[in-house]
Structure 1
Amino acid sequence: MPRESGDGSFLRRLNHVAVLRSLHDMESATLAGLARQAQISRATAEGIMEILLRDGWAEELTAGSSEGQRGRPARRFAFRAAAGHVAGVSIGASRMVGKVADLSGQIVATATESVPADLPSADRLAAIVRLVERATAAAGLAPGDLTAVGIGTTGVIDGEGRVVKSVVLGDWTGVPLQAELTARLPVPVLVENDMRLAVLAEHWLGAARGRQNVLYLHTGSRIGLGLLFGGVPYRGSHAAAGELGGQRSSRWAAFHHVMDYAMSVDPGELRAPSQAALFAMDRAREGDEKAAAAVESFANALAEGLVTLVTPLDPELVVIGGSLAQAGELLVEPIRRHLGGVSLYAPEVLASELGGDAVCLGAVRYTLNHAERLLFSS
C-alpha cells in the first residue's frame, strides 16, 4: 500500500529520501516507477520530484519519439550525479595520485604529484593539499565544492585518522593526518589504510566485483594485505588488520629467489627486491628458463605465505595487486596451482584489474560511501 507523507516533517523526509535513493539506483525512471519503488503515491512522488528538480538533484530527460506511439510519453527523470563531487587521494612514498568523481562514481579529473621519498611530513601534507587543488581545478571545481576528500595512506590508521605507525614513510608515524588535512581543506577529510582501500576498489570496479570474501595481496616494493569480509573491508580490533611486518620495507623472504637470479645475471647492477622481480619477469617472458624458474620460486614462496591466511580465513578469491601483478599469469598461475594443491577449498586467484589506481579508486569509493550516507540519511 502506498505510504503517504501526511503532515509530519519526518515522514516527508522519509519519502524524500526514498525517492532520491530510488532515482540514484535507477538509470532513469518515470513518476509511476518511482512511486512504486518508494512505496508512495504518484502525487507525492511528483511533488518530491519538483523539489529535486528545483534543487538540482534530478534532471528531466528529453522524451524520445517512437514510431506509432500514441499520446504524450511519460516524463522520465534521472539522478543528477554532477550535483556533487568527491575526491580520493593515494599517498605513496614517491608518488601521489588524486582523482575527482561525481556522485555516480564517474572519474572526471586526475592529477599526480611526484615527491621525494624522504619528504618531511609537513611538506608532504602541503603536497597533498596542492594535489587536491590541482585535481579539483582540472574538474572545473574548487576544493570547497567537494562533499569530502578521502585519503589512502600506508600504515596503521586509528579511528580518528591518525597514523599510529608507518614503516614505509619515516616521518609519518604519529601524524594526525585527518586533523591536519581538515585544518587545511574546507571540506571533511576521511583517512583509511591503503590496502583496505585497494581491496574496496577491486570489489567496486576490479577483479573482486560481486565477491564477498576476498584477500588482496599487494606485491611491489613492499608486501601488503587487504581483507574483505561480507563485502566490507576488515579493520581488525586495533585497525591493524593486514599489517604483515615491522621491517621498513615489509619484505618477505620470497624475494631472495629473484634477487639471486638478478645478481647472477647482472652482478654489476644493484636492484631493489621489486626491481629484481620485474627484471626476472621480463627475462622469463623472453624465454630465459632460469628466470622463469626464479619467478616460479618467488610465486611459490608467496603462495606458501598465503596458505597461512587462506586456510583459516577461507576467502573465495585472492587478488594479486601491486606493481608485480603486471606479470599476470606468470605470477598468478603458480600461486593458483600451489593453493589448489594444499587448500581444502581453494580460492580463485586473479591479477588485479586496477593496477596502480587501486588505492586512489578505493579512496574515491570510500568517500562516495560517506557522501551517500549523508545524502540518504533520514
Structure 2
Amino acid sequence: MGRLTGGDPSLLRRINSAVVLHALRAADRATLTEVTRVTGLSRPTVEGVVEDLVAAGLVVEEAADVTVVRRQGRPARRFRFRAEAGYLLGLDIGAHRVSAVVADLDGRVLGAHGRAVAGTAPADERLERARTVVAELLRRAGVPRGALRAVGVGTPGIVGADGTVRLCAALPGWTGLRLGERLSRSFRCPVLVENDANAAAVAEHWKGAATESDDVVLVLAGLSPGAGSLIGGRLHRGYGGAAGEIGALHLLGREVTPETLLSTTDEPLPPLDHQAVTDVFTRADAGDPGARAAVDRFFRRLVHDVAALVLALDPELVVIGGATTGLADLLAPLRDELARYCLRPPDVTLSTLGTASVATGALRLALDHVEEEFFAVEGTVTGRRGTGR
C-alpha cells in the first residue's frame, strides 16, 4: 500500500469504516440514526460505510419484526456486527498436554478440547498432536478451518518475533524450531506464537484474576518456572523476548537444581519428569515428612525468584498459576517474603483460569490481531490496544 497523507480519501474511508464498525460491535444492534449520533459522522457517510461493511460480510441487517410492521409500519432498519463472520483459535502446546479453544470475533468461546502428550515426545509428534486436537475441536464446534481469521499459540521457551523458539529446555527438539512457520502450513491465516507465561498473563488480565490491574506479574510455577509481565496493561517481552525467565535464576551461582530440591532421596529427580514431581506433591499433601520438606525447599527457591522479579518491576499484583499442585501453599510465604523487601508489597493471588490460562491468552492474542486489522488506522487503534505482535 502506498503512503497515505492526511487528505487521502482512502485513509478517510478506513477511519470512517473503523469508527462505524466499532460502534456496531459495541452495540447489540443499532439503527443508522444511532450510529450517526455515536460516531458524529454524517448520515450519508454512515449509510455508505454500512453498505460496504454489509458487502464485506462484517455487518448484517436484522430482519424486522413482522408483528411490529403490521401494527406500526416499517420500523427503522437495524444492523449488527457479525461475530460469526470469522473465528479465532487459541492453542496451548505444553510439555504434557496440548489444548485448544475456538471463539467467534467477539471472543465468545464456542468450544475447547485437549489431549495429553508425552513429555519426551519429539517435535514432530507434538505438532501432530496439536493438529489432531485442532481438527477435532473444529469438527465439534462446526467451524470450517478456512473461516479462521487468526491463530494464537502459547508454548514454553523464548520465542522470537518471527515465531521461532530460540531456546526451550522443556520440550525435546523445540529449540530452534520455526514453530510459527510450521503451524502456518496448517492454516490460511496469521499464526502468532508467544511464550506460555506471557500468554497466561494476557489471559488473566482479560478474563482472570488481573482484570482490575494493569501492572501484573504472572508466574507459571513448575520445575522450570516462567513469568509474564504486564506494564501499564501492555505485555512486556523484553528486547529479545526473554523477559520473565526466572527459571534460569538458579544458574546464577547456585549449584542446586530444582530437581534436586524436590528429591526425597540422594539422587535428583529425572529432568522434566512430570509424574515424579506430581508424586512428590501428592505425598506431601498426604503428610509424608520427606516430601513435605522437599516441597518446602522448592517453594522457598521459587519465592526468592519471584521476589527478585517483583523488586525489579514493582507490580500491583502477582498471580500464581500453572499445573503444579499445592500452589495455595505458596501464597503465604510469598507474601511474607515480599513484605520484607518491598516498599509497597503487591497483592498476591492464585490464577482463576488455572490450566486454561495459556490457551485463553493465545486466543486473546488472536483477537487482538483481528481487532488491529478491523480498527487500526496508521498505527492507531479505535478499540482496545492489542497485546499481540
Pairwise same-fold verdict (TM > 0.5):
yes
Q: Distance in 1 between matches of 2:232 and 2:304?
A: 25
The more displaced of 100-109 and 185-194 is 185-194
Work out whether 1:283 is the aligned partner of 2:283: no
CA distance in 1, matches of 2:161, 2:329: 39
Q: How does 1:98-247 map to 2 (within 5 A)?
A: 98-246=100-248
- Residue 39 (structure 1) aligns with: 40
Paired position in structure 2 for 1:3: none
2:54 aligned partner, one-letter code? L
- The alpha carbon displacement at 1:245 in A equals 3.7
CA 1:256–1:28 in 2, change beyond 3 Å: closer, same or farther? farther
Same amino acid, percent of matched pairs: 39
Q: Secondary structure at the match of 1:124?
A: helix
Measured in 1, the distance between the counterparts of 2:12 and 2:231 equals 34
Q: For 1:33 and 1:272, how far apart are their aligned partners in 2?
A: 61
Distance 1:338 1:246, change over 3 A: closer
* Cα distance change of structure 1 residues 188 and 312 upon mapping to structure 2, 3 Å threshold: closer
Q: 1:125 to 1:256 in 2, by over 3 A?
A: closer
How far residue 73 of structure 1 moved from its aligned partner, in angstroms, is: 6.0
Q: Report the 3-state secondary structure (helix = DSSP H, G, I; strand = E; otherwise coil) of the residue aligned with 1:226.
A: strand
Q: TM-score if structure 2 supplies the norm length?
A: 0.80
* Cα offset, 1:121, TM superposition: 1.5
Q: 1:12 to 1:81 in 2, by over 3 A?
A: same
CA distance in 1, matches of 2:297, 2:56: 60
Give the corresponding residue for 2:312: 312
**Counterpart contact for 2:281–2:326, Cα < 8 Å:** no
Within 1, Cα distance between the matches of 2:39 and 2:275? 60
Amino acid aligned to 2:24: L
The whole-number CA distance in structure 2 between the counterparts of 1:318 and 1:56 is 42
Give 1:266's aligned residue: none
Q: State the Cα distance separating 1:295 from its structure 2 match.
A: 6.2
Task: Work out whether residues 154 and 168 of structure 1, in 8 Å CA contact, stay in contact via their aligned partners in 2.
Answer: yes
State how far apart, in whole Å, the 2-side matches of 1:9 and 1:185 are.
30
Query: Cα distance 1:44–1:278, how it changes in 2: closer, same or farther (>3 A)?
Result: farther
Aligned to 1:342: 341
Number of residue pairs the alignment of both structures matches = 358
Q: Is the 8 A contact 1:161 1:190 kept in 2?
A: yes
Shift of 1:179: 1.3
What CA distance in whole angstroms lies between the structure 1 residues aligned with 2:365 and 2:97?
20
The CA deviation at 1:191 is 1.0
State the secondary structure of the residue aligned to 1:272.
helix
Aligned position for 2:360 = 361
Paired amino acid for 2:286? R
Moved more, 177-186 or 93-102: 177-186
What's the CA shift for 1:208? 0.7
Give 1:368 shift: 0.8
On the 8 A contact 1:28/1:79 being kept in 2, the answer is: yes
Are the equivalent residues in 1 in contact too, given 2:264–2:290 (CA < 8 A)?
Answer: no
Aligned residue for 1:172, secondary structure, equals coil
| Unpaired stretches in structure 1, ≥5 consecutive residues | 1-5, 264-269
CA distances 1:70-94 after superposition (whole Å, capped 9, x unpaired): 9976554332211110111101122
Deviation at 1:275, TM superposition (A): 3.7
Match of 1:351 in 2: 350
The question of whether the paired residues in 1 share the 8 Å contact of 2:205 and 2:213 is answered with yes
Q: Assess, with a 3 A threshold, how the Cα gap between structure 1 residues 127 and 323 changes in structure 2: closer, same or farther.
A: closer
The code of the aligned residue for 1:302 comes to L
User: What is aligned with 1:14?
Assistant: 15
Equivalent pair of 1:110/1:138 in contact (CA under 8 Å):
no
The answer to whether the Cα contact below 8 Å between 1:296 and 1:334 also exists between their aligned partners in 2 is no
After superposition, give the CA deviation of every residue in 1:152-173 in whole Å (9 maximum; x if it has no partner): 1111111111111110012111
* Alpha-carbon distance, 1:252 to partner: 8.1
TM-score, reference length from structure 1: 0.82
Report what 2:302 is aligned to: 302
Residues 198 and 40 (structure 1), Cα distance of their counterparts in 2 relative to 1, 3 Å cut: same
Which one-letter code corresponds to 1:22 in the other structure?
A
Q: Is the 8 A contact 1:87 1:98 kept in 2?
A: yes
CA–CA distance in structure 2, aligned partners of residues 123 and 167 of structure 1 = 17
Specify the SS of the correspondent of 1:99: strand
Aligned residue type for 2:280: A
SS in 2 for 1:119: coil
The DSSP-based 3-state class of the residue aligned with 1:323 is coil
User: For residues 126 and 258 of structure 1, do their structure 2 counterparts lie closer, same or farther at Cα, with a shift above 3 Å needed?
Assistant: closer
SS of the aligned residue for 1:216 comes to strand
Q: Is the 8 A contact 2:280 2:295 kept in 1?
A: no
AA partner of residue 81 (structure 1): A
